[in-house]
Structure 1
Amino acid sequence: MRVRNKTWAEPLIEAHPELMVTDPLQNKGNWQERFKEKQPIQIEIGMGKGQFIIQMALKYPHINFIGIEIQHSVGAIALKNALKEKLPNLQLVLADGANLDEYFDNGEIKRIYLNFSDPWPKKRHEKRRLTYKSFLHVYQEILVEHGALELKTDNQGLFEYSLVSLNNYGFVLEDVFLDLHHSDEALENVETEYEHKFSEKGQRIYKLSGHF
């Protein structure tokens, strides 16, 4: 997601350290302290403008959510949207999602969401895909025992790659949807910005979920 630099972004981020974390290394092992209640923590890697993570926090108040975004201008939009809701179970993080083991302690997270990640289609970029084995190892480390992972994408190639990569890693697949929006799962599905855009154009949405 490419968004032009916004002059208001940095001032807004600096004004709300209670909601937007810019140095996640300082919170490793202590994320529960940033929430009003001690509850299971779920994270989204690449939250974009925050539509998914905000709606999830609204829908599931008994769960603590963390949205992670690397681009400051995009993260600032998510922050602006989150401030309207005043959710005690939501935190936002400006950071690279590739360094999760530096931000979270072993077993600190309950569930991870990978929504419409960059597919990195070229073979030479395989190691950058968020379902490559090195990423899966990090996920397993920060997740609780039998912690969950969910992936949604419109990219068939990434979806098929992820199925193979996860299976080879020993991941236990629980649900696989080849057309999410035309399945029973659609009733409970919370959309991302990209998902809404793609589905409106008639593109198929793929989803998988399971645990390590």
Structure 2
Amino acid sequence: MSARDEILARIREAIGDGSGRRVGDGRGPAYRTASGLDEHALVELLVDRLEDYKARVEVIGSDGLAEAIRSRLEGKRFVVPAGLPPAWLDPSLADSAVTDSREAPIDVERLDELDAVVTSSAVAIAETGTIVLDGSPDQGRRAISLVPDHHVCVVPVETIVGIVPEGFARLDTTRPLTLISGPSATSDIELERVEGVHGPRTLDVLIVRQTAGAGT
């Protein structure tokens, strides 16, 4: 046996479950790949997790989305990705919005001067309260969701899944993924909560159900 074979054999031994079963041989442990939750349960669980993380959450119909965003951003200067649907922004906010794109990125210093950001999202995982951005046109570059102090994030209800395997099954993992579980927060050595260290201090999540006849 070569040194390489010996190392791989030890790895296989280490990741077994103590019963002689090995990952990859068809006899390994069975992991959950779906939650089995219906839409109502998924939304309820996601809201519970996000609120536990100190996010501000509202479940709305798509016909109320523009007003919900307006109420959170009135009087603020904010950035939007180039692919954000125009119908999401009330016309009264037009002079306060700055558009960012990969072709015309806003520099970090300018982003730091802005109060907020609005994005959509790719997937939301209810069990962990995690929202995933994947850099799609309606979500934009990672920088715009990390630098401004207030993030308004839209979560279409059809993008909510129960557990992590379901979430990653919907994602292209070669894309630049940003995983968000509540506002940015950490604790110092004395367990004092400190917010805004790694990203926005305030997270507003708008969970949107499509309203019949409403545009997006």
State if a TM-score over 0.5 links the two structures: no
Higher helix share: 1
TM-score by length of 2: 0.30
TM-score by length of 1: 0.30
Select the structure of larger CA radius of gyration.
2
Higher relative contact order (CA 8 A, sep 6+): 2
